[in-house]
Structure 1
Amino acid sequence: MTITQLHYVLAIAEHKNFTKAAEKCFVTQPTLSTQIQKLEDELDILIFDRSKKPIELTDVGKKIVQQAKNIVNESDRIQDIVDQQKGFIGGEFKLGIIPTVMPTLLPMFLKTFIKKHPKVKLKIEELTTEDIITKINDGHLDAAIASTPLENDSIKERVLFYEPFVGYIPDHHRLAGKKTIAVSDLEIEDMLLLEDGHCFRDGVINLCKAFKNHQDDSFQLESGSIETLVKLSDEGLGMTLLPYLHTLDLNNTQKANLHHFNEPTPAREVSLIYHKSELKIHIIDAIHNSISGIIRGAIAFQNVEIISPLSK
């Protein structure tokens, strides 16, 4: 049994196709098939049911895949140990970022990080929290930036900052005359929301439900981006809530529509998350330090109440 064979097993389990798995592993399909056959012969079992389309794991194959993930992760840790001993921070690093954080945070730290760590080849992908968790557990992401806490036993979280919610309230709205607003002022019926799948949307819903009982079917209008929510609000279609960093790029006219909450300010917790195996922890540390050093100057809120991103 070899580590290479286990890599092949994981690739087939993921793609459910020998040809696609071979392409992923940069080998020919006959080479991959031969190695899988050798492994099955050695173990005297079938890992894959080839009669099914797409290919499926056998019952014992499912258990082998779980163990293969552990073995491959541990083998990768050897290179981590060597890199850390040498003080080397480099290589490919796959980072996921949720959509409501990507446009504001990425420009703040990316240039500085690349300049300080030129040997790290960052591959950044915008993903929902659900996809991020799946990809971290499958080994397709090294880390991610997401709203927490996630209460997932396989994932570790390191807080980067707390980002307050800010009301965006257009003229002639019932709350427009208020200098500051309270959570109890919110009415979900006149709230513009992000579409389903965004954790910031779930946070807003959780915030409103903490005070009033609303049904999901009462939501009137949802959009895929915060920028669209602002434009819809400008048209008088309702108010919305924005993450604090998104308010920094508004024009002066739009900033006049911002209303901060009474303390403690509702806020989301934004963290760097990664698998509990802590692979590539030296690069994770470098990203955390880079972001933390920059974000302190942008967000200095202390008296906050964390709103969970988990759907309730």
Structure 2
Amino acid sequence: MNLRDLQYLVALAEHRHFGHAADACFVSQPTLSTQIKKLEDELGVPLVERTPRKVLLTEVGRDIAIRARDVLNEIEQIRGVARRTLDPESGTVRLGIFPTLGPYLLPHALPLVRAAFPKLELLLVEEKTETVLRLLREGKLDAGILALPLHEDSLHSEFLFEEPFLLAVAAEHPLAQKQGQLKLADLSNQNLLLLEDGHCLRDQALEVCHMVGAGEHSGFRATSLETLRQMVAANVGITLLPVTAVKPPVAPLENLHLIEFKGRPPSRHVAMVWRKSSAMDTFLKHLAAIFRQLPADLLNPHSAATPLAAAAASVKTRKPARR
């Protein structure tokens, strides 16, 4: 048994197809099939059920594939230790981030990372939270930037920042006139536009809704924050937006008014997380420290809020002329 055989088995477990697994391993299909058969002969148990249409692993095959993945992850950790001993700031970091933060945070954070670690190759994967967590567990990511809380005992977390929310409304909405005076209680009996299932921002917004007695706008669930912004600007409904999602380089939308909460606003807590067993622990703590060096104004809701005078002027221009 060698590491290559384990790689073939893990690839087969992931792709459930000899041809696709062979392509992933950069070998021919007969080569991969032969090595899997040799591994079965060596272990003395069948690992694969071969059917005309697809490949299924036996129960023992699935168990061995899980353990094989762990072995390969540990081998990669060993290689990472060696690389970083020679040059702690070189090499590759595979970083996952969720889609309601990635496009808005990274334009501000990546220049800081490049300046601090010019030789670092940062590979970014944008996925929903559950997918990022799965990829972390499988060793396919080195770290993730996610919203807390996370209930994963195997992960270490480094708090990065707290991000406030703003209320987004159309100019003609009554709440547009509450700039700086908006209280959470004002959302009572309102129905908010929300993202589809799987987005952590949806869960965060629902938590606010439940807290104040608000509800969800029925019949619509957005796939992205940009869709939410467009729907609010069209006066379909109102929503909560994280402050980074409305700061430059994001372009403002006409008729989209951002209302700052009075006192402590609703918010989300963001952290960098990685496996407690990671050989990159020390370096990832340095990387997390870089992400904390974001421009102070980026997380300031006041500078993103629409001035009350602008909201009033916008409503005035939209009033129909008297005849």
TM-score w.r.t. the length of structure 2 is: 0.82
- Name the structure 2 match of 1:67: 67
CA distance in 2, matches of 1:219, 1:156: 38
Tell me, yes or no, if the aligned pair for 2:113 and 2:290 is still in contact at 8 Å. yes
Match of 2:77 in 1: 77
SS of the equivalent of 1:219 reads: strand
Secondary structure in structure 2 of the residue aligned to 1:107: helix
C-alpha distance in 2 between matches for 1:190 and 1:255:
19
CA distance in 1, matches of 2:67, 2:122: 28
Distance change in 2, residues 1:128/1:262 (3 Å): same
1: CA distance, partners of 2:144 / 2:242: 18
The amino acid of 2:245's aligned partner reads H
Q: How does 1:102-251 map to 2 (within 5 A)?
A: 102-178=102-178, 179-187=180-188, 189-212=190-213, 214=215, 219-249=218-248
Alpha-carbon offset, residue 286 of structure 1: 4.2
Quote the RMSD (CA, aligned, Å). Answer: 2.7
Identity of aligned residues (%): 34
Amino acid at match of 2:209: C
Q: Is the 8 A contact 2:195 2:202 kept in 1?
A: yes
Deviates more, 1:275-284 or 1:2-11: 275-284
CA distance in 1, matches of 2:35, 2:252: 64
8 Å Cα contact 2:6-2:68 kept in structure 1: yes
C-alpha distance 104-213 of structure 1, shift in aligned 2 (>3 A): closer
Q: Which amino acid aligns with 1:83?
A: R
Cα distance per residue 1:69-103 (max 9 Å; x no partner): 22112222211222232233333332222111112
Hey, what's the Cα distance between the residues in 2 that align with 1:284 and 1:29? 38
Inter-partner Cα distance in structure 2 for 1:283 and 1:25: 29
Q: Distance in 2 between matches of 1:188 and 1:225?
A: 24
Which letter does structure 1 place at the counterpart of 2:237?
G
CA positional deviation for 1:130: 2.1
CA distance in 1 between counterparts of 2:254 and 2:283 reads 38
Q: Secondary structure at the match of 1:93?
A: strand
Distance 1:80 1:188 in 2: 53
Q: How many Å separate the matches in 1 of 2:74 and 2:284?
A: 17
Q: In structure 2, give the amino acid aligned to 1:225.
A: S
Map 1:246-265 to 2 at 5 A: 246-249=245-248, 257-265=257-265
The whole-number CA distance in structure 1 between the counterparts of 2:146 and 2:163 is 12
- How far 1:119 moved relative to its partner? 3.0
2:260 counterpart SS class: strand
Aligned-partner residue type, residue 180 of structure 1: Q
**8 A Cα contact 2:233 2:256, kept in partner:** no
Report 1:13-92 matches (<5 A). Answer: 13-51=13-51, 53-92=53-92
**CA, structure 1 residues 188+44, in 2 after alignment: closer, same or farther (shift >3 Å)?**
farther
After superposition, the Cα gap between the structure-2 partners of 1:53 and 1:280, relative to the gap in structure 1 and judged at 3 Å, is: farther
Change (3 A) 1:255 1:102: farther
Q: 2:189·2:214 contact (CA, 8 Å) conserved in 1?
A: no
Unaligned stretches of 5+ residues in structure 1: 302-312
Runs of 4+ in 1 over 6 A off after TM superposition: 250-256
Q: How does 1:6-17 map to 2 (within 5 A)?
A: 6-17=6-17
Judge conservation of contact 2:48–2:58 (CA < 8 Å) in 1: yes
Aligned pairs, how many?
299
Per-residue CA deviation, residues 80-136 of structure 1 (Å, 9 max, x unaligned), is 222232233333332222111112111012133234433332222221112212222
